[in-house]
Amino acid sequence: KVVDSALWSFLTAEEAHLIICCEVALDASELRHLAHYEGYDKDDPYIQDFWKILESFDIDHLKKFLAFTTGTDRAPLGGLKDVRFIVQKHGVEPTNRLPTAQTCFNLLLLPRYESAKKMEQCLLLAIENSEGFGLQ
């Protein structure tokens, strides 16, 4: 036997392969699939700017964003399209408030900033300086 555990018998071949060989590729556009909005509309130009920003992130920033909003920097086995992600309006300009998140609910609390540039700067500041529970 290669692995001496009964738990392996519960995995499909695809799941075992992903665990042993690699992690699921991260594609920010997949996160849109099941996204819900509270206080925003999916067709709002502001939300479209949000997705453009997210899709422009390199892999390191995308992992930090995922950790910030979901509590983990990894996608589930089915990919990001299986994450029920919520973007909730959390104030408007003028504000110095940074985006915050509730990881238990995959909930991003996003203020409505005056520009896409300020949104990007605030998102980056929030994810770069987030430590979660401080666990390494």
Residue positions annotated with a catalytic role: 104
d(CA 93, CA 112): 6
- The tokens for 26 are 């991260």
Residues 65 and 15 sit within 8 Å (Cβ to Cβ): no
Residues 91 and 70 sit within 8 Å (Cβ to Cβ): no
Q: Is 30 helix (H, G, I), strand (E, B) or coil?
A: helix
d(CA 109, CA 91): 9
